């Protein structure tokens, strides 16, 4: 059997759209036939269990985690497939909230190795998707919850015919791949809509909603729009550990739903929670034993690290994986809603595939001190270039070679009532989390061997 490092190499030493310059979203590169054929060789494992399929620009990971948590609280063995990971590749494939064990990943990579050797055109994400689907079938999950990797229409996960499709908030991101208008991007996201399969949509801008409505109508897929068919209302004063809300179902459903607690911060997470609840209730209509109480329990238990996550207090230390302008706006709003602080110390690092100016435009007005750094990732932007970008926007910034150095410096400068925020990419968040654990002498999260990627 392959070692764990060898198993990762079998999966990752292929054409990787995540880490290379991404081509336009067209069939000549993104071919569902490849993953269909690979899954067929594995016995079509994705057809062995019902599934939920989630696409969108923002919130799809959080919504995936919420739906999976609700299903677990309802007594179902639940598979969850998300990307990217924070610290270990194994986080991408989970059963009942636990990452796939190293030995299981080794065993499945060993089985897939000859198949992938014969299929050199299969991409990294296609290979990972097939492994996840096969592993969930082996573990006999009751439901698999799958987050789209990129786009939707041509994403490897779109081989699914789910019980319900979900489209979270659509905004401008990955324009070089998906299109440079909101309508074009929405069309790619709405590519997950299947004939007659119910669709749950988050509130959308009119251009995006029009596209989603049109495609759902063409395919005879019943469409539920949160904000129109389902509503929500924050209750109590927002705290630093979570927030309370009430959710209002459609008129045909009982009106008296219990107040619910969500241990995730930000008004946008209330929207995501309502989308997740609407999807869970659709699963109930299709025969799953989901109740308002199991929904309440599932939301209260959800975990989604690296997204408005509070690592420490006095000073506050917060990490958030926001990486486009919309998500930065949401993060800035969440900071104002949940926290009070003296001075804000910003630790910023971005990917080369994103425009730092648009991100910094939302952050610089909040920041008193700014440090540019870079994650240990090949697509991380050079901190000196980020420093020049900030200078061009009228703000001076320090640089740090590593996130560890940046966090240590911020902690040294910050008063007890200050706020330290690390953001700009999920890769930076992962490195800052590890730096925090190291500085505080806490157990490190499971990580992959050095040089695995």
Structure tokens at 224: 């539920």
Burial 148-179 (b: 16+ CB within 10 A, else e): bbbbbbbbbbbbbebbbbbbbbbbbbbeebbb
CA–CA distance, 267 with 205 (Å, rounded to integer): 17
**What distance in Å separates the CA atoms of residue 318 and residue 311, rounded to the nearest whole number?**
6
Do the bridges between strand 143-147 and strand 51-55 make them parallel or antiparallel, or are there none, so unpaired? parallel
424, 348 contact by CB (below 8 A): yes
Q: How big is the chain, counted in residues?
A: 453
**Which of helix, strand or coil describes residue 304?**
coil
Which DSSP letter does residue 317 get?
Answer: E
> What is the sign of the dihedral through the CA atoms of 378, 380, 381 and 387?
negative
Torsion angle of C-alpha atoms 151, 78, 51, 291, degrees rounded to 10: -110
- Distance between CA atoms of residues 330 and 44, nearest Å: 40
The predicted structure's pLDDT at residue 324: 84
| pLDDT at residue 178, rounded to an integer | 63
CA distance 308 to 330: 10
395 neighbors 370 (Cβ within 8 angstroms): yes
Q: How far apart are CA 49 and CA 160, in angstroms?
A: 10
- Hunting for tokens 């435009």 — which residue is that? 361
Sign of the alpha-carbon dihedral angle for 212, 217, 220, 224:
positive
Query: Residue 31: what pLDDT?
Result: 76
| Nearest-10 Cα torsion for 89, 93, 95, 97 | 60
Mean pLDDT, 10 residues at a time, over the chain (453 residues)? Answer: 95 66 54 93 98 95 98 98 95 98 98 95 94 98 96 94 97 63 91 98 95 97 96 89 94 77 95 98 97 97 96 97 88 94 97 86 94 92 95 96 98 97 96 97 90 69
Q: What residue ranges define each of the domains in the chain, with the CATH number in brackets?
A: 4-301 (3.40.1190.10), 309-440 (3.90.190.20)
Do 182 and 210 form a contact (C-beta atoms < 8 A)?
no
Contact 331, 269 (CB under 8 A): no
The phi, psi pair for 415, rounded to 5°, reads: -80, 170
CA pseudo-torsion sign 436, 432, 12, 449: negative
pTM surpassing 0.85? Answer: yes
Distances in whole angstroms, Cα of residue 290 to Cα of each of 60, 73, 281, 303:
21, 9, 7, 20
Contact 141, 95 (CB under 8 A): yes
């Amino acid at each position: 059997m392959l070692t764990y490092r060898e198993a990762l190499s079998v999966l990752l030493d292929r054409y990787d759209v995540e880490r290379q310059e991404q081509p336009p979203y067209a069939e000549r590169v993104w071919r569902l036939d490849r993953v269909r054929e690979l899954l067929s060789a594995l016995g079509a494992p994705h057809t062995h269990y019902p599934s939920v399929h989630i696409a969108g620009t923002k919130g799809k990971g959080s919504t995936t985690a919420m739906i999976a948590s609700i299903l677990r609280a309802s007594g179902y063995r639940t598979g969850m497939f998300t990307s990217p990971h924070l610290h270990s590749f194994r986080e991408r494939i989970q059963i009942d909230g636990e990452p796939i064990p190293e030995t299981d990943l080794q065993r499945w990579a060993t089985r897939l190795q000859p198949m992938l050797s014969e299929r050199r055109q299969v991409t990294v994400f296609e290979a990972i998707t097939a492994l996840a689907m096969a592993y969930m079938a082996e573990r006999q999950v009751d439901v698999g919850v799958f987050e789209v990797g990129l786009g939707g229409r041509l994403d490897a996960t779109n081989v699914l015919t789910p019980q319900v499709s979900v489209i979270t908030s659509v905004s401008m991101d990955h324009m070089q791949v998906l299109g440079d208008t909101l309508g074009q991007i929405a069309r790619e996201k709405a590519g997950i809509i299947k004939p007659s399969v119910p669709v749950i949509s988050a509130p959308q801008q009119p251009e995006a909603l029009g596209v989603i409505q049109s495609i759902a109508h063409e395919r005879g897929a019943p469409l539920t729009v949160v904000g129109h068919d389902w509503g929500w209302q924050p209750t109590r004063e927002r705290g630093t550990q979570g927030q309370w809300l009430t959710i209002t179902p459609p008129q045909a459903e009982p009106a008296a739903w219990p107040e619910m607690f969500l241990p995730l911060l930000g008004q946008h997470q209330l929207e995501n929670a309502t989308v997740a609840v609407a999807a869970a209730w659709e699963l109930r209509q299709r025969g799953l034993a989901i109740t308002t109480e199991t929904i309440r329990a599932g939301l209260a238990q959800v975990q989604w690290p690296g997204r408005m996550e509070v690592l420490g207090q006095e000073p506050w230390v917060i990490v958030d994986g926001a990486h486009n302008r919309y998500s930065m706006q949401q993060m800035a709003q969440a900071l104002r809603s949940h926290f009070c602080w003296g001075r804000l110390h910003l630790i910023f690092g971005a990917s080369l595939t994103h425009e730092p100016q648009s991100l910094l435009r939302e952050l610089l007005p909040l920041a008193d001190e700014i440090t540019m750094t870079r994650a240990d990732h090949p697509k991380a932007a050079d901190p000196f270039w980020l420093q020049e970008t900030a200078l061009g926007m009228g703000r001076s910034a320090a640089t740090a070679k590593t996130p560890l150095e940046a966090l240590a410096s911020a902690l040294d400068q910050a008063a007890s009532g200050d706020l330290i925020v690390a953001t700009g990419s999920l890769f930076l968040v992962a490195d800052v989390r590890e730096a925090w654990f190291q500085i505080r002498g806490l157990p490190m999260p499971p990580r992959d061997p050095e040089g695995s990627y």
